[in-house]
């Protein structure tokens, strides 16, 4: 039994091969089977209706550095298929101000930072 079964998709396996029409079964956090799995059962079944089924995309030049502090799962990116973000590009990246010598926990450069509302960790900050 699969945890998730995606039926009737156009499956791109992410290694550059031509897509295949079929089903994809997931157990835990791993793809367990790709093929025609008509007799398979699953805890959750999704009907792809021929839509593309692909591994998550990597956004290797993201500027979501600050957005991720307020929305750690970045739902707007996930809805676009992005599952991995590479941040800190272009010399831009927040840093925990508690690690900056001579700064209090609520100050950053020029005091232009404040604590994030709802931040789970005391060292998370947001730019104003
Ligand atoms: Zn950039």
| Interval between CA 71 and ligand 1 midpoint (Å) | 20
Tell how far the Cα of 92 is from the centroid of ligand 1, in angstroms: 8
One pLDDT digit (tens) per residue for the chain, 128 residues: 999 999 999 999 888 899 999 999 999 999 999 999 999 999 999 999 999 999 889 999 988 888 887 888 889 999 999 988 888 888 777 765 444 455 454 544 444 444 444 444 444 444 43
Distance 89 CA to ligand 1 centre (A): 5
Can you give the pTM of this predicted structure?
0.59
Spell out the domains of the chain, with CATH numbers in brackets: 2-55 (2.30.40.10), 58-127 (no CATH)
Residues 25, 37 contacting (CB under 8 angstroms): yes
- Rounded to the nearest angstrom, the distance between the alpha carbon of 79 and the centre of ligand 1 is 21
Q: Please give the Cα distance from 98 to 3 (Å, whole number).
A: 42
């Amino acid at each position: 039994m699969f945890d998730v079964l995606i039926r009737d998709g156009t499956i791109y396996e992410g290694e550059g091969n031509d897509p295949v029409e079929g089903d994809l079964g997931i157990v835990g956090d791993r793809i367990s089977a790709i093929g025609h799995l008509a007799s398979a059962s699953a805890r959750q079944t999704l009907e792809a209706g021929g839509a593309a089924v692909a591994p998550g995309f990597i956004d290797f030049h993201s500027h979501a550095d600050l957005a991720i502090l307020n929305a750690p799962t970045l739902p707007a990116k996930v809805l676009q298929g992005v599952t991995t973000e590479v941040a800190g590009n272009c010399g831009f990246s927040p840093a925990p101000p508690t690690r900056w010598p001579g700064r209090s926990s609520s100050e950053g450069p020029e005091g232009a930072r404040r604590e994030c509302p709802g931040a789970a960790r005391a060292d998370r900050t947001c730019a104003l």
